[in-house]
Structure 1
Amino acid sequence: TVTIEWSDNLIPIAQHNISPSESQYYYVSADDGCSDPVTDSVLITITTSLELSYLFGDLLCFNEEGASVTVEVTPEDTYDIYWNDELGTSSYEGLAGEIVSILAIEPENGCEIDDLILIPSYSPIAANFTINPNLDCIPFEELPVSFIDISQNAVSGEWSFGNEETEVYDGSSPAVNYTTPGYYDVILVVENEGGCIDSASVQICVNDPSSLFIPDIFSPNNDGANDILFVRGEGIVQLDFSLYNRWGDKVFSTNSAENGWDGNVRGNKSPTGIYFYQLKARVNNGDEIVRSGDITLVR
């Protein structure tokens, strides 16, 4: 039988798991009762916990090149520094707003520390807007055109509507009443809090004024306003106008601009909803007009 004795009042077993608070030696002796006792020692070295701190360069626009960060590792020593798994120096240069991994290794004892950091930037700026009506070519009768701003992190800028009109950007959604048909290049330029710039543009088309007008909404509620749906226009000499419900059933048709729909079908009130029309007409200058679209009935 072998008798084991440890220093530091450790119990006499062959193996210990210890967590000393500072570096120190541990001694052990073994005695089988026959031969001389055998003594040995082991040094447990406790190193100071590693810590990382960062110094960032100038704040730049999001995704702009030239953003920098310098790391400091404590305690002060010589370390191998890896940025995004590549050996480098204590400084790294990349993109503003980039997420970077860092690994610092003390080569003598193998102690290491890693981290993920975000290189600061100004807020990402994105100019964007939609138009209403969102059509390939906007009927003159459906003007004005609304430009709905959906930009991100914009604090200032300017709208240019393609008709020599401009407007200061304030986050609202402007509406423009174009006076002549044609194509217009609409441009929005915006800036964020750091002066970073982005732009968005779209070309819109405005159709010639039509000699016919069909309302896109009517309300047959006997209040004296918009109770009857008529096809309006000057010089109509021939007309074929039909309305259908969402199932494709015809609810009204006429060949005269004097006849309008009162919202009833065979004496029954049609429900609130969207109805679809088809129109074919000829006016007194010989032009033939073919059109289709939808009309909203509101009760």
Structure 2
Amino acid sequence: MKQSIKLFQFSLFVMMAFLANPIFAQITAPKASLTAQTDYSDPVISENSIFVFCDNIGTGVGELIANSADGTSGWTFTWTKWDVGTGDYTIPVTVEVNQSESTLTNLTDGLYKVVISKTGETDEEGQAWVLNRTMSSQLPSFSFDRMDCVGVFFNASYVPVQLKYLDIPTANEKSFLTSYVFELTREGESIQRTPFDNYDGSVKNFFDEDAFEGENDYLMTVTDECGNEYSAPVISSETYKIHAEFSIDPMLGEAPLEITFDNNSVNAENFEWFIYQDFDRLETALTSVEDSLLIDGVLVDEDPAPYTYMHPGNYFVKLIASSNKGPETCIEEFYLKSEGTPIVVDTSLVQVPNVFTPNGDGRNDVFRVKSQSLKTFHAVLLNRWGRVVYEWKNPDEGWNGKINGKLATPGTYFYVITATGREELKKKYTKKGSFMLIRK
């Protein structure tokens, strides 16, 4: 009963002390690494700011700044500190006179009060907690959980530093949670970095979804607000997750187009390559994968031999990679790109120029037909009297403007070109027309 009366008297005294001066001065702490608010059990008492300072040498580095309301000099700043024994601000700190601002440095933990006064002015009052945070000796708890076809899983936790202040009405200690950053690295490469605000020491889950071969070293590091890093002992692990990927070269060209495969898959043992027909020519009623393939069956080589596309079109290649390294079979498939970019084999083309200038300047000196993806080609050039002046079957060749070794007469000439494209439904060309031979 006597203890209850004393506690009531203490609480009443504290409330009167806090309510005696309703005008509050602002206290700031620019060098604080963390700012929080008290949570006093009595709602009548105004909450105070809590300023946390990084103090790895344990000497007290807290710093508080108080400013006068009007920014002028002539004010007296009286600083005191809360005394748990007396339940009041009875520990003198310092008094500064004729100032506009007052700064306290090298402060140890505790609740500080400043009273700012000037003759003829209303006194101002402010309170703030200073808590110095030292480096912890605690290391993270880090353990292997499991592995599957998704990746490697780990668990990690940390015993957080409990920063404490006094609940003024009861004089009991209260604590609040701080924040930490957990980072999982593999062979020095960051895999997962996650901040946890108000961390309570609970177990957190981490995983590595990358595929790799052999054993790799994992490190778990926890960083506090002061930048202090705490690392758990290294854990070595392998994975049986696979990654399917390949590239081809070239991606674009005219028929016949030969491409080579570069298998970049990781951790895979078995491979199935699907080389599909031109999607634009697929029948709508196909009932099986094999019906849509350009070749008979599925290639199972790790690195297939180069393949030649004989006909123009848009083609897809798919790789399914699998592995039995773990207790379950892991499977992953990969197209050329995630958006399914096709191999483009150019459609056949025949384009004829309407003029050429064989004057030896290195530009347009040869009458050449632009063509691509042709299976057959035949071109005949005639003069105005219908006589053949030049004839060729290789589309890469052309006429240099000479007849029997002599320069042809400038003027109008005629052409007749027949060609067949490499499309499966053969595209045939017959082009007739005229062009000018000009010499300048």
TM-score by length of 2: 0.30
Q: Greater helix percent: which structure?
A: 2
